[in-house]
Chains A and B, each alone.
Chain A
Amino acid sequence: MADPGAIGYWTVPLAVLGGAIRVSTPFLFVSLGECITERSGRINLGLEGTLVMGAMSGYGVSYLTGSPWLGVLAAGATGAAMGALHAAICGLPRVNDIAVGIALMLFGTGLAFYLGKPLIEPTAARLPSIDFGWWSNVPQVRAALRINALFLIGVALAPVLVWALRTTRWGLIVRTAGESADAARAMGYSVNLIRLRATMLGGFLGGIGGSFLSLYYPGSWNEGLSSGQGITAVALVIFARWNPMLCLAASILFGGAAALGPALQSVGINQAYHLFNAAPYILTLLIMIATCSPKRTLVGAPAELSITR
């Protein structure tokens, strides 16, 4: 067994904490984006593809321009374009949004692998991090508290979204489309247009979540970069009851679960490394088992959502 260092097994909770903050960021952005989309009454399962496309395009733009923030922006724009594609196809009559999501998941991953081939070798400029652990001289503490600005933006975004959905005119329109398409139509709004915008915004955030993967942690582009974070985040929105603040809490919980395997490996426990890697998926499944019910629709579920009907 490897020497865990001066602070002994305290390394594990510290690494889990640091990992929770690092790993949760893509979960956070994807779930916030999906939250907006689902509140408008449509589900976008394609965010897994959006995430990978965002990771690829963000890395590519950062490599070409040298500016990681431009990369983040490009990733968001790519995500919005993927969202627009999803919304445009779902806007056709008799097209099932879940099936379109599956198609875009496969399409986005394939396209990202295709376009990203030349990006596997080069190193792009990565996003900077802010050192909140300056007061400590324990390296593990400092590592855990080196926090990326995107995480802070995501944390700030969650309450803003709660407020926007609850009190603004825009939020009311989105919620109306999600609760009753007929009511929105009666008010003179185009349901397809509302959902197009909500899906594009969701895709924008999903793309940014992807750029975090390639530009900060793990911080490079390769084809194994995303392993289901996108789809886990979609399930997480259900668990979070379509509430952005609960999405934040759930993302951090999931980040912690995902960080458990690497944290244990860092102190030399690697027998069940791969099983610990499955922790976020098992956790998602268990939470869905505990919170879903066959008898009633979920509290807080938008009534137009096909996945809860």
Chain B
Amino acid sequence: MKADVGAPLAPSGLGQLLRLPAYGRKVGGAAEFVVIPALALAASLVLFGIFVALFGKNPLDLYFYMYQGAFGTWFSWQNTLTRAAPLILTALCTALPAQLGMVIIGGEGALLIGALSATGAALALESAPPLFVDLAMAAAGMVGGGLWIMLSGALRHYRGVNETISSLLLVYIALAILNYLVEGPMRDPTSLNKPSTREIGADNMIGSIPGLDVHWGFAFGIIAALLAYVLIYHTVFGFAARVAGGNIRAAKVVGLNVGKLILVICFLAGAAAGLAGMMEVAAVQGRTNANLAAGYGFAGILVAFLARQNPLAVIPVSILLGGIGASGGLLQRRLGLPDASVLVLEGVIFVMVLASDSLYGRFGFLRGKAA
């Protein structure tokens, strides 16, 4: 702030380099969006290392096993990518509404509703050909999840209800509906210890990507993120959404239908999370039960913020966070850390990333503008 007034600072070497043409400015601006989150991430890892050191564990062991568990072997890479798949989709559930300036944190609820709708569709179409069943599951999951988040958007637009709180309340309502259905009307009587729905059947399960032990959900996640990127940055609709997100009054003045933008974006956001739920059923669990509430929806919020709500950046960040999740098992076995250590690390990263928001524009040489 203070540096902005007064005489321009003497340009440093790197600053001079980046300051020259408009191109340099663009690269400099982008560099800031990579360097600052990376610094926040590194600081979080150091803090987490200190934290486990307080419990008598060697931080170097921690980093080694985290790397091993996440990216060290081919097996751990596959585990990481499998976990990244739902994260990409649930992160879109936060990142898309963020373009409109809305903070939606109910991806977990849309995931659960999507899983339930998809399971319902599969169980209703048992005798149909598998491809048809899978398509119906995907459609049902996306519509279910989409309507769920669209409800938050509609409440915001028509009733002025805060979408952050309503979407989180809807998570708990979705969880109650899921528990009610899997223990009541949809319960498979043979599931004794863990109430579940009936299985969707091995024929209807979505397999792995050829050559990988990673299910197709990962590919669909990447496609969804690419589509979201094109929609937001390369279509008129996306441009309108970003205008409305920047200044809602300006958007109304130029005649944009803000209500339609909110409803459509929220539907797409929920559809992404609903697809994540459908994938978890069709590729991992094979049925719906309380296992689905594994926190992918909440980790997705962190991914979206770490990716600065950019649909393309969501992909690498999901892989990173998927890796942290994948290393949890190894940390438990080798270091005896509780399973919640992944949650602690995610929380630290989230806090550090938000705190690092205040650093933007502080480093003149990264921004490439005259200080």
Interface residues, chain A, CB within 8 Å of chain B? Answer: 45, 85, 89, 92-96, 98-100, 102-104, 106-111, 113-114, 117, 227-228, 231-232, 234-235, 238, 271-275, 277-278, 281-282, 284-285, 288-289, 292-295, 307-308
Stretch in B15-23, B67-75, B210-218, B355-363 touching the partner = B355-363
Distance to closest chain A CB from B331 (angstroms): 11
Stretch at the interface among B81-89, B154-162, B227-235: B154-162
Minimum CB–CB distance from A223 to chain B (whole Å) comes to: 8
Interface of B is mostly: helix
Interface centre among B171, B173, B305, B339 (most CB of A within 10 A): B173
Extra contacts, 4 of them, besides A106-B343, A231-B168, A235-B169 (Cβ < 8 A), are A94-B358, A106-B346, A293-B159, A308-B162
Least distance between A106 CB and chain B CB atoms (Å) = 5
Q: Are A294 and B159 within 8 A (Cβ)?
A: yes
Q: Which residue of B is nearest A284, CB measured?
A: B169
User: Is A93 within 8 A of B165, CB to CB?
Assistant: no
- Point out the residues of chain A lying under 8 angstroms from B345, CB to CB: 110
Chain B residues lying within 8 Å of A100, measured Cβ to Cβ, are 351, 354
Per-position 1/0 for B300-318, Cβ under 8 A of A:
0110010000000000000
B347: chain A residues within 8 A (beta carbon): 103-104, 106-111
Contacts of A294 in B (CB 8 A): 157-160
CA of A95 to CA of B356 in the docked complex: distance in angstroms? Answer: 9
Per the bound structure, the CA–CA distance linking A273 and B305 in Å amounts to: 36
Q: Which residues of B contact A102 (CB under 8 A)?
A: 103, 105, 164, 301, 350
**In whole Å, how far is B332's beta carbon from the nearest beta carbon of chain A?**
11
Contact B103 A110 (CB under 8 A): no
Asked whether any CB of chain A lies closer than 8 Å to the CB of B285, the reply is: no
Interface size on B, residues (CB 8 A): 48
Residues of A within 8 A of B78 (CB): none
- Summed over the interface, the residue pairs from A and B with CB atoms below 8 Å come to a total of 149
Per the bound structure, the CA–CA distance linking A133 and B54 in Å amounts to: 48
Chain B residues near A227 (CB-CB < 8 A)? 172
Assuming the contacts A93-B1, A281-B169, A284-B169, asked whether A110 and B159 have C-beta atoms less than 8 A apart, the reply is no
A93 partner residues in chain B, CB cutoff 8 A: 1, 358
Q: How far is the CB of A190 from chain B (nearest CB, A)?
A: 16
CB B368 to nearest CB in A, in angstroms, measures: 19
Find the A residue at minimum CB distance from B341: A114
- Interchain CA distance A282-B166 in the complex, whole Å: 10
Beta-carbon contact of B160 and A282 below 8 Å: no
Which of A234, A285, A293 has the largest count of B CB atoms less than 10 A from its CB? A285
Interface: B284 (CB within 8 A): no
Task: Give the residue of B176, B354, B358 whose beta carbon is less than 8 angstroms from that of A99.
Answer: B354
Q: Do B165 and A114 touch (CB < 8 A)?
A: no
Does B226 sit at the interface, judged by CB under 8 A? Answer: no
Q: CA A292 – CA B155 in complex, angstroms?
A: 9
> Nearest Cβ in chain A — how far from B259, in angstroms?
10
| CB-based nearest A residue for B178 | A274
A271 to B350, CA, bound (A): 40
B183, CB-defined interface residue at 8 Å: yes
A277 contact set on B, CB distance < 8 A = 176, 179
Is residue B180 contacting chain A, with contact meaning CB distance below 8 A? yes
Q: Mark B326-369, 1 if CB is under 8 A from A, else 0.
A: 00000000000011111111111011011101101000000000
B183 touches A238 (CB 8 A): no
Interface residue B31 (Cβ < 8 Å from any Cβ of A):
no
Q: Given the interface contacts A106-B302, A277-B176, A294-B157, does A117 sit within 8 Å of B340 by beta carbon?
A: yes
The residue on A at minimum CB distance from B301 is: A102
